Amino acid sequence: MKRFYLFLVLAMVAVAPRLSAQSLEFSGETYHRTYAGYNIVNLNWNKSGDVNSTLFPLTKGFTLGHLESAKLFDLSFPLLVEYGVSLQYNTGNEIEFPIGASSEASSEYRVNTLAMNVPVHAALNLKLNKVSINPYLGVNFRINLLGNQTTTNKLGNTTTTTKVRLFDDSDEKGAAGDAAWERFQTGLSYGVAVSYSRYTFGIGFISDLMPIVDWDDDYTAKMSMTTISLGYAF
């Protein structure tokens, strides 16, 4: 599905110069927008995916960010550079009922993470009457600020809870230690935003090039994410 959307973006850019200048044209106008989005998150494990997706069920979240744009070069068509910053909160939970155990026994796994993203994109600004279309392609830099995995085990009326700080590689109590997740990732970032007046609808994709989990060759995971956003241009 991601390759399909990328194909649509690239096809639109390739076809645009062939369209009538009265219908669709390149614009050198820059834009500045603040946006909020809903994240669909996937951890892509290289092995033992079923087990790890249960223990670390990172599936959804929210993003709040701001983008600036500037003209990059004085070319025959105006290529823009997009850059900005966003805060990204992702979460997920999974409840497991052990096979053969009492019907009153269960284990719930919950993951919460907070990260800062810095995207840098090459972008175009295409005008169709009062509508602006901004396809983009670039890189995303992520710094993971906080992360917790909470495990809640229930057996009858007894409940025990354990919390692990996922990005803490220290020897302190509650830290993940040698099993800590990686704090920094870079990834491929691409998508398109469509604006009418000052309001913007966007769909974007991030596919990490660096693993967020890198325990050994048997247990690594890279994160991919789709964000559907609404924004306002200033």
Which pLDDT score, from 0 to 100, does residue 28 have? Answer: 78
Which pLDDT score, from 0 to 100, does residue 94 have? Answer: 87
Which pLDDT score, from 0 to 100, does residue 80 have? Answer: 92
Structure tokens at 195: 């604006």
d(CA 1, CA 8): 11
Contact 212, 223 (CB under 8 A): yes
Contact 63, 85 (CB under 8 A): no
d(CA 68, CA 81): 8
End-to-end CA distance of the chain: 32
Amino acid, single-letter form, for residue 32: H
Which pLDDT score, from 0 to 100, does residue 71 have? Answer: 87
Is 183 strand, coil or helix?
coil
Query: How far from the centroid of its chain's Cα atoms is residue 10's Cα?
Result: 20
Structure tokens at 35: 């946006």
Which pLDDT score, from 0 to 100, does residue 100 have? Answer: 57
d(CA 81, CA 86): 17
Q: pLDDT tens digits for 101-113? A: 556 788 889 999 9
Q: Which residues contact 196 (CB under 8 A, 6 or more apart)?
A: 130, 131, 132
Which pLDDT score, from 0 to 100, does residue 17 have? Answer: 53
Structure tokens at 17: 């110069």
Instruction: State the pTM of this model.
Output: 0.83
d(CA 64, CA 110): 22
CB count in 10 Å sphere of residue 115: 23
Nearest 5°: phi and psi at 3?
-65, -35
Which pLDDT score, from 0 to 100, does residue 140 have? Answer: 98
d(CA 26, CA 12): 12
Output the CA torsion sign for 210, 185, 221, 214.
Answer: positive
Rounded to the nearest integer, the mean pLDDT of the chain is: 86
Which pLDDT score, from 0 to 100, does residue 19 have? Answer: 45
Contact 230, 199 (CB under 8 A): yes
Query: How far from the centroid of its chain's Cα atoms is residue 58's Cα?
Result: 11
Those residues of the chain that have pLDDT short of 50 are 4, 7, 11, 14-15, 18-21
